[in-house]
Every structure is written in C-alpha cells, then in structure tokens.
Amino acid sequence: MDTTLDYSLNVTEFPSRKISNIWKPDSIADLKEILVFANKNGRPIYPISTGHNWGLGSKLPVVDSDIINLSGLDEIIEVNESLAYARIQPGVTQIQLANYLKSNHPDLILNVTGSDAHSSILANAVERGSGKNGQRANDIRELKIMSSNGKEFSTGFGSYREGTSSFYKYGLGPDFTHLFTQSNLGIVTEAVINLIPKQSFTLHLSIIPNEQLGNFLSAFSLLVRKGIVGHSLEIDSQNDPKIFELFEASANESKWICWFVTHGESEIRSVKNAIVGEALADIVEEVRKYDSEEDHSSALAPVKVRIDRYNGMPNDHSLISTAKAFGVALNEENPDLDIYKELPGFRCVLPVIPFCGDGAKIIDLILNYSKSTSFNPAISIIGLDEYSLEVFSRVYFNRNNQEEIDKAGKWAEELLNMLKNNGIYPYRLDVENMAPYLSNVKDPMKSLKQAIKDHLDPNGIIAPGRYHLIS
C-alpha cells in the first residue's frame, strides 16, 4: 500500500509537502467522483501518472495537496494503423504501448524518450518532453479533459463526434489543445498520440571538438530544415554518466558525443549519408555508422540502446548506466531513482535555445557559470524541431549532505536567472522553481492565463502553483 512517504521521496531532495490523501482511481467514473468531492470541499489535488518526473520533482506536488495517481487508468483504447495514431489513458507507459505495437501493429512505432521505459507517455507529452523524434507535444492530435467539476470535453474534432477516427488535430475555430499542456486547467484523461511508420535507418555516432560545436549546430540545422535528417539529434557532453561505457578508461571533457539518424531504404540513405558527410566533413571526427538492418549485439550498450530507441523500443539504460557510473546497482525490472539514497541526487535546468550556431554561445554561458560555482554539469543537447534545441543540463550531489543539496539548489536557481537575463528561458521547470521563477518573469499574458484558470477551475483545486497558475 502506498504511503505519503512514497510520494515525498524524490531524487532532487526537494522538501516534503504535506500530502493528506492519495487517490488512485480505477476508472473515469472514480476520477469524476474524486474531483467532485475535492471541488465541493476545496481540497487541492495534484495529478500524476507514473510520477517519473526525474530531476524535476518526481511525484512531488508544487504545494501541499492530495495526490491523484492516474496509473490505474492504463487502457490502450485504440490503435488506428491506417491513420497512425494511438488513443491512450494517462497510465499507459512507454514499454506497454511499445510491446502492444510490436505484437499487434509491427509497422508502427512510438516516439520514445531517453528516460525509463515505465514512464507515462501522456504525462511526458503534456509536459512537452522530448523524444528521439522531436518534441512529444507535437505528437498530440487530441486531448480529452475533465474539469474540476467533473465535466468532460475534448479538443480538436473530439467534441464533435464519438467513435470515429482522428485525422485532423485543430478542429474548427480556436485550438485549445495546448491550453492543457504545461498547465493546471484540467486533468487530461485521454490523448490521441501520433505514431511513426517503422523504417530502416543509419545511426551516426560522431565526435565534435568543443571549438566546433557552433559550426556543427549551424551546419546540422540546415540539414534538418532541408529534410535530409529528422529531429533525431542528441549531443552529450563527454562527462555524461549515461554514456560512461564509451569512455570508462578516459574522459576528455573537451569533446561532444553526437547521435542522429538518417531514414529510408538503403539507396536513399546512401544519398543522405553522402550529403551529411560532405556537410560535416570539416567539423566532426571519428564518424561511426550503424545500419539498423545489421546485427549490433556486440556493440557497446550506449549504441545498442539508441538503436532500440530509434526503433521505437524504450529502455532503462539512462537510469541504470548512470547508477553504474556511480557504483550503484538499480533494480533493473523497474528502476526507481527516488528510493536509492546511495545514488547521487541531481538537479536539472532545461533551457530551450535556438537551433543555430549561436546556441553554442549559450552552452558556454552555462559551462562558465557552472565552473564558477565548482560544478561541471553533464549536458545533453536534444533536437525539438527545426528551430529549437533542449539543453538538459544537470549536476549531481550527495543526497545525504544538506550542504551539497543546498549548493545544487542555488546552482539551479542562479543559472535560471542568469539565462533569463540573457534572454534564454526554460522549456520546463521543476516544482521548486515554478513560483519564484515565474513570479519574476514579465508576462503580458499572465492576467489572461489567470482568468482562464479562474473560469475553468474557480476553486483552484487542480495542481495549484503548477506553472504558477493559482486561483
């Protein structure tokens, strides 16, 4: 049986909140009953799906709240092969849908993340997380929402029809889908998520010298916009523990490890690879290529797991390899970072930067600031779309040392503000920084956002403080 302590544990070591009740609905009818009760009694509630919000708060609410755990709403309602989508509930995990597709629709795959296999697809998408094929919010075709009074409505054409297929995401008139991403205006109970036709690919692994990062981003962004490569880019700092198997003997932290794929039949890829090779010839070094049709069972783990992910199969390698880098063995069946106090904690700052050569200057800002605070952050630069990149920057600390916990917290707070002063903002925030950060951001839309919150959730019971929307 879950306890409030289970929901307070978090790998970020944020202070506990007061959690009075834990609700675990098994059906939409149960959820409605809970919401009506909470609304009537003015009880704040914080919905989670699987609670794997690693580095940003895990299961922790923003403020003292009851918890609604939606992991029991885990139905794969529909997979439409001809229109390439899945209709799912919040508790459906990456591995659950991936295995279902493998057995029933092997020509379709999911845009998976680099996080763990047991994380919620829907939760990550509405939080605007990133996958191996771009930002997952872009995969959302429709949402079904329950408001604080228990009423349900859908976005797009979902409100116009029942039981028919989904093929156009906007509906008629204003599109409200993304009112419910990174928000607390309602509880998302169902999503239509785009799927991807499975196809062959070549995984490229290249080394980028630090001084060439700007040139690489400039050249590669043009390849993406021309359609030569998709939104598959991942660039890892050489000190990133999730790729430590590549550099167990030595780590030269002045270089970057770059991953991306080209898709298509072998003849098409041959042309694409030649174009890519010519564009990057004077920028990258140690180019390695892995065709998905070949056997790579003897390759190093970071290579094998990325081939799996680009094939739509999630895995827990990022968590397990990071733990191994610090000498900790996780339960590989379903690793839970929160419960391993011997595992270092980590804090994240997640700026979104322009996909061009100037992005490298922002990386330098992050590294130089961090160096001044005696931190050497691990950084992953991930493609979101043709014009923007996520920077997943994180520092590790001893979870049993309050001085180190406080130091990491100060690093995150000051880095966010330093970047803001340079016109760079986060694309996601942790639960601890939502209120202090957004209180000091000049947002001309703030009053309109609050008016919408007041209208849809007049008693302010749904996730108060989430992205600083309160009633």
Confidence (pLDDT) at 253: 58
Q: What does the domain layout of the chain look like in residue ranges?
A: 74-143+157-197, 201-428
Assigned token pair, 120: 């919620």
Give the integer Cα–Cα distance in Å for 63 and 65. 6
Q: Among the residues of 46-113, which ranges form H helices?
A: 94-104
Domains 74-143+157-197 and 201-428 alike in fold: no
Strand partners, 80: 85
CB count in 10 Å sphere of residue 454: 14
Task: Give the number of residues written for the chain.
Answer: 471
The correct answer on CATH 3.40.630.30 for the domain covering 201-428 is no
Give the integer Cα–Cα distance in Å for 367 and 356. 18
The correct answer on CATH 3.50.50.60 for the domain covering 74-143+157-197 is no
Strand partners, 146: 152, 187
Give the integer Cα–Cα distance in Å for 313 and 110. 8
Using a 10 angstrom Cβ sphere, with 0-12 exposed, 13-18 middle and 19 or more buried, the burial of residue 350 is buried
Contact 143, 177 (CB under 8 A): yes
Confidence (pLDDT) at 471: 63
Per-residue pLDDT of the chain (471 residues; tens, 9 = 90+): 577 888 999 999 999 999 999 999 999 999 999 999 999 999 999 999 999 999 999 999 999 999 999 999 999 999 999 999 999 999 999 999 999 999 999 999 999 999 999 999 999 999 999 999 999 999 999 999 999 999 999 999 988 877 678 999 998 999 999 999 999 999 999 999 999 999 999 999 999 999 999 999 999 999 999 999 999 999 999 999 999 888 754 555 579 999 999 999 999 999 999 999 999 999 999 899 999 999 999 999 999 999 999 999 999 999 999 999 999 988 877 788 999 899 999 999 999 999 999 999 999 999 999 999 999 999 999 999 999 999 999 999 999 999 999 999 999 999 999 999 999 999 999 999 999 999 988 889 989 999 999 999 999 999 999 998 776
Contact 275, 414 (CB under 8 A): no
Contact 121, 113 (CB under 8 A): no
Give the integer Cα–Cα distance in Å for 178 and 459. 22
Radius of gyration of the chain (CA): 22
pTM attached to this predicted model = 0.95
Contact 347, 408 (CB under 8 A): yes
Give the integer Cα–Cα distance in Å for 181 and 138. 11
Question: Which DSSP string do the residues of 192-213 spell out, in sequence order?
Answer: EEE-EE---EEEEEEEEEGGGH
Decide the pairing of beta strands 134-135 and 140-146: unpaired
Confidence (pLDDT) at 247: 74
Decide the pairing of beta strands 66-69 and 22-23: parallel
